Amino acid sequence: MQTFDLEAQGLRALNETLQAQSQQTNETAWEIVNPRGSHAIAVGLDAPIEVTVKGSTGYYCAGMNKQATVHVKGSAGPGVAENMMSGTVFVEGDASQYAGATGHGGLLVIKGNASSRCGISMKGIDIVVQGNVGHMSAFMAQKGNLVVCGDAGDALGDSIYEARLFVRGEVKSLGADCIEKEMRPEHLETLRDLLERAGVDAKPEEFRRYGSARQLYTFDIDNAY
């Protein structure tokens, strides 16, 4: 394992080093010490490497991630795993606002709580939050799955498209065009797989599913000529 002292060596050197790793590299395991809440740690990675951050981070940690597995042994600031493409990001603590924003793929696991706008405009990412999520989570969510093992705040799924939301606890309120939907066998299977991959001991049957009522779409087939 390669150890990188962020305080001594600096953020630019860290990200340049990690981004330079190719798929053929033998240096597949990295440990970052002394993060001290620094911003933009381990961004733009595009190799099947494993990065462990020993402490909490600032905003945009693991942004634009592809292929890599990033473990944050602490909490994460705003925008963790923002615009993520693939790979896996684990946050051992809590996450601030807009975790997983605009994510296209991969898996984001937050073992604590997530603040407001978790999964905003998500486009294919899977997000599993073991605690609660704040208001406006999954706002304009287009594709992917948001799993909330705790409670959800106001306006869940406001202006949602085709993402699927699974909540085990209470939902304070639903946003515009978001409704509760039937939990069919295929949804239970999807949820079971996500919970297993996230290491969450919960039963899919304990969750409720929410999604789009499809009333805000600008195109309606009945209006076509």
For the stretch 209-225, pLDDT in tens is 999 999 887 656 566 55
- Rounded-to-integer distance, Cα 180 and Cα 184, Å: 12
Q: Are 94 and 110 spatial neighbours (Cβ–Cβ below 8 Å)?
A: yes
Q: What is the mean pLDDT of residues 64-90?
A: 98
Considering the entire predicted model, what is its pTM? 0.94
Q: How many CB atoms lie within 10 A of CB 42?
A: 28
Q: What is the mean pLDDT of residues 182-210?
A: 97
pLDDT grade for 159, boundaries at 50, 70 and 90 = very high
pLDDT grade for 189, boundaries at 50, 70 and 90 = very high
